[in-house]
Structure 1
């Protein structure tokens, strides 16, 4: 048994064109998102130095430890 489906070349062309257009738009959105994320990262680094970040992490860790110890006291 053999099944043949005839699709006009114009329909294949239009379908491929729409698919390609959609993929390009998705890729451009991804590139824009990536650019925005890099810009946010750059701004955060300017505002919040790595040393300050680790100081804050240590401070929060100490506060969490103190809260935990309080919960253990009966």
Structure 2
């Protein structure tokens, strides 16, 4: 069995052109999103450095550590 569909070259060209245009737009949106994510990351790093992050973690851990040490004291 054989099935043949005739589609004018102009229609194939238009379909291809629209598909290509859509793919390029999607790719550009993706690139814009990547750029925005990089900007957010940069701003976060400027606002809250890695050293500052670890200093905060250390402070936060101190209180539970002190509580734990108290629970181990034998009187």
**Fold-level similarity (TM above 0.5):** yes
Alignment of 1:33-72 (within 5 A): 33-60=33-60
* 2:32 counterpart SS class: helix
Report the TM-score when normalising by structure 2. Answer: 0.73
Question: How far off its partner does 1:63 sit?
Answer: 6.5
**Which residue of structure 2 aligns with residue 12 of structure 1?**
12
- Deviation readout 1:31-69 (Å, 9 max, x if unpaired): 000001111111111110101112333445566887xxx
Unaligned runs of at least 5 residues, structure 2: 68-75
Task: Give RMSD over aligned pairs.
Answer: 2.0
Specify the alignment match of 1:21 in structure 2: 21
- Distance change in 2, residues 1:14/1:51 (3 Å): same
Between the two proteins, the alignment pairs up a number of residues equal to 66
Q: Which has the larger Rg?
A: 2
